[in-house]
Amino acid sequence: CRPAPTTADRQGTASRQTGGGGRHGADRIPLSQFVDQIPAWRGRIGKTITQRQLRVGEMIKQSLSMIFIRNEAKVPNLETNTITVTEVRMSQDLKIAKAYVLPLGGKNAEETVNTLKEYSFLIRKILSQKVVMKFLPKLLFRKDESFEYAEKIENLIKQTNK
């Protein structure tokens, strides 16, 4: 015999299972209270990265690196053999690949990324000849800021050790 639902139950609640396995009014927590306690729920909930995403991302990273080293993508006004591909992150459906790139020495990084974005169709065409996939992902180029972040953290650590 279940108790009649209360107004709090009708407005939206999250139930949690207890050791007894039953769902009773005492076991229910209002959803709004639960969401406020966990900050990660306020924004986009992150999905776990699958092995397939990692494998495909690594394959595309290696192929892009070889394309840039051999200068196979004839991008105007850009020496691609000085570009380093540090990471490629794949979307859940493997339709979008975010390639994090950095030119040698970090010089003109914004210009390089903008040029790569502009000619991504050309790079994607060359990539389609290297990688065999049912759907070749759309390439999005981003400036890799991980080295700058690591340097910042290193400087903070050095300051605290003094």
pLDDT for 104: 86
Lookup: tokens for 73: 């993508």
Judged against a pLDDT cut of 80, whether residue 45 lies above it is answered with: no
Among 4-13, 81-90, 135-144, name the one with the lowest average pLDDT: 4-13
Distance, C-alpha 149 to centroid of its chain: 17
Burial of 91 (0-12, 13-18, 19+ CB in 10 A): middle
Sheet with strand 96-103: strands edge to edge? 83-90, 96-103, 138-143
pLDDT per position as a tens digit, 84-135 = 999 999 999 999 999 999 988 878 889 999 999 999 999 999 999 999 888 9
**Residue at token pair 């390089």:** 112
pLDDT for 60: 94
Overall pTM surpassing 0.85 (yes/no):
no
What residues are paired with 88 via a beta bridge? 99
The C-alpha atoms of residue 142 and residue 96 are separated, in whole angstroms, by: 13
Kindly state the average pLDDT of the residues 46-65.
Answer: 90
Q: What percent of the chain has pLDDT over 90?
A: 42
Backbone angles phi, psi at 20, to 5 degrees: -75, -20
Q: What separation, in Å, do the N-terminal and C-terminal C-alpha atoms of the chain show?
A: 68
pLDDT for 95: 94
Q: What percent of the chain has pLDDT over 70?
A: 72
What SS3 string covers 66-94?
A: HHHHCCCCCCCCCCHHHEEEEEEEECCCC
The C-alpha atoms of residue 83 and residue 123 are separated, in whole angstroms, by: 13
Kindly state the average pLDDT of the residues 26-46.
Answer: 43
pLDDT for 81: 85
- Higher pLDDT: 57 or 43? It is 57
Of the candidates 45, 115, 60, the one whose C-alpha atom is nearest the C-alpha of residue 90 is 60
**Residue at token pair 């995403």:** 53
pLDDT per position as a tens digit, 7-34 = 555 554 444 444 444 555 554 444 444 4
Give the contacts of 72 (CB within 8 A, at least 6 positions apart): 66, 126
pLDDT for 44: 43
Backbone angles phi, psi at 88, to 5 degrees: -130, 120
